[in-house]
Amino acid sequence: MNYLKDGGGTDLKTLEDVSMYDNSFAQGAKQSEYTKFKNMTPEERNAKKAIAAVINALGVSKKLDGFSDNTNGADGWDGIDLISTKWDNPHRNYTWSEGSKDLNTKYQKKFNGGVDVSKWSYKKTGFEIEAKKIIGKTLFTDVKTNRTEHKQSKAKFE
């Protein structure tokens, strides 16, 4: 979805058309993991549901019949680094929607995070980010402002 927001088109020939776009398809991806993924058979790739997720995201963005948004309108996501004391995460400094507090607390408790989410800034209006849904170990979010994150690496996937 970020690919589309950043001006990417919906006429994609391959998954690589998305994943090569400004190295932003998978924020935490490394070349070794990407190479491993590309070396999988089509059945193994589909087993991980990666291609299906991309197709579904594009279908939802174009409001096509038969596609569904399972993330409640999220346009981003956070992993364990959001609540772990081992890493920094810029989303901790955002002003969250008041309604996000319960979901953030649930996420923190579910994955035993050491970061106290109750001390984050929460507002009823004028917030910068909103927690939408927890799926697996991922907290899906909707960022309401221009993104202030930056890529930690300039590496491009081969």
Tens-digit pLDDT profile for residues 54-99: 677 777 777 888 888 888 888 788 889 999 999 888 899 999 999 9
pTM of the model: 0.65
Band (11; pLDDT cuts 50, 70, 90): low
- What is the model's pLDDT at position 109? 96
Q: Is residue 136 part of a domain?
A: yes
- Residues 57 and 98 reside in one and the same domain: no
Q: How many domains does the chain contain in total?
A: 2
Band (24; pLDDT cuts 50, 70, 90): very low
Q: Is residue 137 part of a domain?
A: yes
Band (30; pLDDT cuts 50, 70, 90): low
- What is the model's pLDDT at position 64? 82
Q: Is residue 115 part of a domain?
A: yes
Q: Is residue 46 part of a domain?
A: yes
The better pLDDT of the pair 153, 55 is held by 55
| CA terminus-to-terminus distance, the chain | 22
Give me the mean pLDDT over the 100-117 stretch.
96
What average pLDDT does the chain have?
77
- Residues 126 and 82 reside in one and the same domain: yes
Task: Give the C-alpha separation, 87 to 71, whole Å.
Answer: 25
* pLDDT at residue 113 greater than cutoff 90: yes
Band (21; pLDDT cuts 50, 70, 90): very low
- Residues 19 and 56 reside in one and the same domain: yes
Range of the domain at 47: 2-61
- Residues 37 and 80 reside in one and the same domain: no
Q: Is residue 94 part of a domain?
A: yes
Q: Is residue 29 part of a domain?
A: yes
- Residues 52 and 14 reside in one and the same domain: yes
* Residue 22 structure tokens: 């400004």
- Residues 46 and 104 reside in one and the same domain: no
Q: Is residue 148 part of a domain?
A: no
Task: Give the C-alpha separation, 147 to 82, whole Å.
Answer: 16
> For residue 10, is it left (φ>0), alpha (ψ between -120 and 50) or beta?
alpha
Band (7; pLDDT cuts 50, 70, 90): low
- Residues 83 and 117 reside in one and the same domain: yes
